[in-house]
Structure 1
Amino acid sequence: MAREMLGIDIGGSGIKGAPVDLSDGSFTRERFRVDTPQPSKPKAVAKVLAQVVNHFGWEGPVGVTYPGVVIGGRTMSAANVSGHWIGLEAESLIADATGREITLLNDADAAGIAEMRLGAGRGRRGTVVVLTLGTGIGSALFTDGVLVPNTEFGHLQIDGEDAEIRAAAKAREEHDLSWKKWAKRLSVYMGHLEALISPSLIIVGGGVSKKSEHFLPLIEGVRAEIVPARLVNNAGIVGAAMAAEAADDRAAEAADDRAAEAAHDRADEAARSAEAAR
């Protein structure tokens, strides 16, 4: 029987979750979405996350994405959410609010994990970058399939400002850009990124990737192969579920190691007692 895990994706406009079949990345129940609280302060968001968990009646571990840098369960940046997240022990806060074991990771890293395991990056070696185009630009960098976490390439400076201000999907909507004009901005951004890391493959995700035929063929001046994400905007949820699975496996392995060590210690103690008795 395929293993199932709950993944939740925190976005600038919506919080989305679903139980995931980890064998193929499909949702085992219909996705549930709640608007992101405004302002998106930690306790308000945690309350919505608990609502998502309760909606599914979920009892096991949960994977949660965050739109910013996450190190050791602590959120270290907050470009598109409340500044109250910066420096917060967010993983513990969410665990307390939901009553579940939580694995928290960067949202683009989660999407990248899913794409590399089940999507457009499956089996690809070398340097691969996954870009999620939405409220901002998220990024996930892989070298020979290994994640380099928290890259945040959306904040590269181009013409004196964050690249995502000009090239995110939100920028296209806010400035009513044609696909051609937006593709020109993406071309500049991807060209700049390529000069820094020389990827062999760029995977473009986020909700706008469903319309990739309108803009990917218009990108110019980039050597790397550019392809749309196969999991589209579900990749964050799927990757969060995968991260929760990995954390649960590590915890189980650690518990087995502790049990084996305890058994070894008991055997040593028994041997010493027997020797003393003789």
Structure 2
Amino acid sequence: MKVLGIDIGGTKIRMGIVDSNGQVVEDHKIPTETPLYSYLENKIIQFLKEHTHVQAIGIGTRGMVDAENGVITFESGTIPGWQGTEVKSLLEKATGLYVEVNNDANCAGLAEARLGSARGYRRTVCLTIGTGLGGGFVIDGKIMNGTHGGAGEVGHMILYPGGHICSCGRPGCSEQYVSGTALRRSIAEMNIVDENNKLITPNRMFELAIEGHSDALAITKKFTNDLAIVISSLQAVLDMDCVIIGGGVSESADSWWSFLLTALEPLLLKPLEVKKAKFGNEAGMLGAALLVLTDEKDGVFKK
């Protein structure tokens, strides 16, 4: 069987066909446009006309999701009008196909737990470090969603009370310190520029830290120390087997991984596996497809 997995981000949407073995057999990207639902429905119907063999649809999206009912319960404003959308019921009516909806970081965590770096572990936390900081908790192969779809919102754990104002409106959330956005803000504050007097990228900043650049090293150590605190706090609550780190910032992990392990060692209560994600930018889309493929071995369709 083949299903359609969709990963909805603030700037782009990734749509892919995934087979019973968890293999991506076709992959497309389109820009995110608003109002989102009508745009998304039109694109999906067009896609299904060209791929009539699709049997179900899984969607991973920004924001908090009532996964049981497929409703977006909270979105910070990156996608105007998305909050409150009853995606599952609307899309099932429009397509006649079975639809599951969940948070994008949860979907990434599901992909890593079933097919990726966390395969074989029972209790997994997946952290996605990109524009913000996301989290997905997968326990015994199932996503922990929480009462309002808010479980795994690691980026909105308060790290520094009274700190930088988050997009959620509260001060001091962890994603204001552990994210690509936070790194770019720190680079601007330190005014670390290249030979053309332009602010450098986070990837370049990590490289400079290894070379001994004092300001870059200070930012790197602050970033990894804050990430270590987040991981340690999660361990105290969840006592997970494994932490997987993915997202755009993780693509430069080779440059900062040793700093993280050094910062993490004295904070852990028990031994903990910390691993880099296997899947890159396709993790959310692949995990979304797995929402409707409950068994990667024989492709049992979730009903």
The two structures have a TM-score, normalised by structure 2, of: 0.70
Q: What corresponds to 2:182 in structure 1?
A: 171
2:99 is the counterpart of 1:88 = no
Q: 1:12 aligns to what SS in structure 2?
A: coil
- Bigger Rg, which one: 1
**Deviation for aligned residue 1:103:** 1.6
Letter in 1 for 2:14: K
Q: Output the CA distance in 2 between the equivalents of 1:40 and 1:13.
A: 13
* C-alpha contact 1:22 1:241 (8 A) present in aligned 2: no
Q: 1:193 aligns to what SS in structure 2?
A: helix
Identity rate of aligned residues, in percent?
Answer: 29
Q: What corresponds to 2:143 in structure 1?
A: 147
**Deviation for aligned residue 1:203:** 0.4
* C-alpha contact 2:106 2:135 (8 A) present in aligned 1: yes
**Deviation for aligned residue 1:49:** 4.4
Q: What corresponds to 1:130 in structure 2?
A: 126
Name the stretch that deviates more: 177-186 or 162-171. Answer: 177-186
Q: 1:8 aligns to what SS in structure 2?
A: strand
Letter in 1 for 2:90: L
1:112-127 aligned at under 5 Å gives the runs 112-125=109-122, 127=123
Q: In 2 relative to 1, CA 175–35 (structure 1 residues): closer, same or farther, beyond 3 Å? A: farther
Q: What corresponds to 2:198 in structure 1?
A: none
Q: Output the CA distance in 2 between the equivalents of 1:173 and 1:210.
A: 16
Q: Output the CA distance in 1 between the equivalents of 2:142 and 2:129.
A: 22
Structure with greater helix percent:
1
Q: 2:55 aligns to what SS in structure 1?
A: coil
* C-alpha contact 2:3 2:54 (8 A) present in aligned 1: no
Letter in 1 for 2:4: L
1:1-278 aligned at under 5 Å gives the runs 3-23=1-21, 25-29=22-26, 31-37=27-33, 39=34, 41-50=36-45, 52-53=47-48, 56=51, 59-71=54-66, 72-79=69-76, 81-96=78-93, 100-125=97-122, 127-149=123-145, 150=149, 151=151, 152-160=153-161, 161-176=172-187, 177=202, 178-179=205-206, 180=220, 181-219=222-260, 220-221=263-264, 222-223=267-268, 224-246=272-294, 249-251=301-303
**Deviation for aligned residue 1:131:** 1.1
* C-alpha contact 2:2 2:54 (8 A) present in aligned 1: no
Q: Deviations over 1:183-209 (max 9, x none)?
A: 233223323333333333110122333
Name the stretch that deviates more: 3-12 or 81-90. Answer: 81-90
Q: How many residues get paired?
A: 245
- Extract unaligned runs of 5+ from structure 1: 252-278
* C-alpha contact 2:105 2:284 (8 A) present in aligned 1: yes
- Extract unaligned runs of 5+ from structure 2: 162-171, 188-201, 207-219
Q: Deviations over 1:41-65 (max 9, x none)?
A: 4334444444555565664311111
Q: 2:102 aligns to what SS in structure 1?
A: strand
Superposed CA RMSD: 2.7
**Deviation for aligned residue 1:157:** 1.1
**Deviation for aligned residue 1:17:** 1.4
Q: 1:76 aligns to what SS in structure 2?
A: strand
Q: In 2 relative to 1, CA 135–51 (structure 1 residues): closer, same or farther, beyond 3 Å? A: farther
Q: What corresponds to 2:195 in structure 1?
A: none
Q: 2:121 aligns to what SS in structure 1?
A: coil
Q: Output the CA distance in 1 between the equivalents of 2:125 and 2:283.
A: 14
